[in-house]
Amino acid sequence: MSTNKVLIITYYWPPAGGPGVQRWLKFVKYLPDFGVAPIVYIPENPSYPLLDEKLLSDVSDKTIILRNKIFEPYALASFLSKNKTKKLGAGIITQKKKQSFIEKAMLWIRGNIFIPDARVFWVKPSVKYLKKYIQENNIETIITTGPPHSLHLIGLELKKQIKVNWIADFRDPWTTIGYHKELKLSKWARAKHKALEKEVLTTCDTILVTSPTTKLEFEMLTSQPIEVITNGYDVEKIERKPLDENFTLAHIGSFLSERNPKILWGSLSELIHENEAFANHFKLKLIGAVSREVLQSISEYNLDNFVQNLGYVSHEEALIHQRSSQVLLLIEIDSEDTKCIIPGKLFEYMVSERPILAIGPKNSDFENIIKQTNTGVFYQYNEKNELKSQILSYFSQYLDNNLKVNAVGLQKYSRKNLTKQLAMTISKFNIKKQN
């Protein structure tokens, strides 16, 4: 099998933690199995909001890693407020309540000065460095992945300057992502974002997206080929622990302010008061960063005594909790803009052998996946009675020691199968060249 060299331009890479690193870490892991040799280009001095050193063990020592310095405005601004800067860097910018003057100013700068984002200063030095590397090493295909979407501008400039195949991977949408509305964009800045988005979408050779809804959205802007390659799950060697003795509902990952499911807190509060057995067995596990507003709502519904707030843990430890919790919570913001969002943790949830209790907007892409794979249930934000009944049903199954799922069709979402799909996309360029 002949080997194709592919240059992958990404910001997030171990020891970065959080969901942004997983997609390309796993693609790089499996690409060599399909005749593709990945070369990964990353910042030398990044400002990662979350760290997970254990992910370094997932990087093959055969992977070629290129590093180049990046100027990080967030690092420069940290003297103002390390905590606020870290939140902005992590994308946690949806906390509308009680914003300080500094927070408002930083949001305005983030949206109107750093276009498309604060990593835009990495574009010029990266183009200069990579142009030389690509030509000297006969690389025919490059892949940029965003967010941060400024990395697509690296691909855009390289495409203009040299002969290279360019795949643009969108882990999230660009101008329609929910938090864009919170960036206090001027009319000029909004137009600039849209113009850059369209230029990227019409100049690259192939577009990768993670959801069908994003594909439909982009098809309105470009005639370039678009492929849906979702995120997925890997075969992890994780210690198998017994199921929690309590009836645990676990939320794993960032719990942002706008993902505040008051219908869930209300349902749980009512069940605690109405059902003594439920009150004696129930626990709410929160694993990951949780916003102040979410914790405040939990307290307002008198649930504090039932909460285990474990904070951020390593990816490995998160997987252990997924497999030992009784029920897994998946919450998405109730908005048209989030119908296209398929949380990366969904796929790891699906192979945990635990039922998923999901809440989100109607006709969400992840609703369809949950139903197709028979891995859980989905409710809208106006279906409180149905949600409450489902929790009680799960609790009854728990008491009978019969709480389980019978998942179907999961194999298509394995990281290896998804990487095979990616490798086939890359190979299309070689087929065109041969013809």
pLDDT tens sequence across 127-180:
999 999 999 999 999 999 999 999 999 999 999 999 999 999 999 999 887 677
- Of 25-39, 175-189, 279-293, 381-395, give the lowest mean pLDDT range: 175-189
pLDDT tens sequence across 218-238:
999 999 999 999 999 998 777
Pair 341, 261: CB distance under 8 Å: no
Q: What is the β-pairing status of strands 165-170 and 206-209?
A: parallel
Distance CA 391, CA 405 (A): 15
Residue 174's alpha-carbon distances to 39, 86, 102, in angstroms, are 25, 21, 25
Q: What's the pLDDT at 432?
A: 61
- Which whole number is the average pLDDT over 370-387? 96
Q: What is the DSSP letter of 233?
A: B
- Which whole number is the average pLDDT over 30-34? 95
- 430, pLDDT greater than 90: no
Q: Coil, strand, or helix at residue 16?
A: strand
Q: What domains are there in the chain, each with its CATH number?
A: 4-71+116-232+414-434 (3.40.50.2000), 247-399 (3.40.50.2000)
Confidence of residue 431 (pLDDT cuts 50, 70, 90): low
Q: Coil, strand, or helix at residue 250?
A: strand
Nearest 5°: CA angle at 370, between 362 and 221?
55
Q: What is the DSSP letter of 162?
A: S
- 370, pLDDT greater than 70: yes
List of residues 6+ apart from 271 with CB closer than 8 A: 278, 279, 282, 388, 391, 392, 395
Q: Indicate the pTM of the whole model.
A: 0.88
Q: What's the pLDDT at 94?
A: 43
Q: Coil, strand, or helix at residue 397?
A: helix
Any idea which residue has 């993902």 for tokens? 259
pLDDT tens sequence across 57-83:
889 888 999 999 998 876 655 444 444
Q: Which amino acid is at 274?
A: E
Q: What's the pLDDT at 60?
A: 84
Cα dihedral: 56, 59, 64, 65 (round 10)? -30
- Which whole number is the average pLDDT over 113-126? 93
